[in-house]
Amino acid sequence: MTFFSELLAIDPLALLLPNSVYVRLVEKLHPHVPSVSEIVEAAKGITAEQRAFVISRARVLSAHAKAIEQAMSELK
């Protein structure tokens, strides 16, 4: 078992509440405002392998986000 497979979890509220209600609740309780300093603090102590994995996943996510943004702009 790798470090990252241990991090997978399902929020029980996500199973109970309709998606629209769950999203509003999560955003109210934990607004998504990325903070570099909070990420740096949370990531202190990770291994070079873990850091490489995180960077790789971030690049994949970024590529997907760019494709979605381009597709949505073409719908105009």
The domain locations on the chain are 4-74
Distance (Å, whole) CA 40 – CA 46: 10
> Which pLDDT band, with edges at 50, 70 and 90, does 71 fall under?
very high
Cβ proximity of 54 and 46 under 8 Å: yes
Determine the pLDDT at residue 4: 57
Determine the pLDDT at residue 49: 93
Position 48, amino acid: A
Is the pLDDT reported for residue 8 higher than 80? no
Tens digits of per-residue pLDDT, 41-69? 889 989 999 999 999 999 999 999 999 99
Cβ proximity of 7 and 54 under 8 Å: no
- CA torsion 47-49-54-57 (nearest 10°) is -170
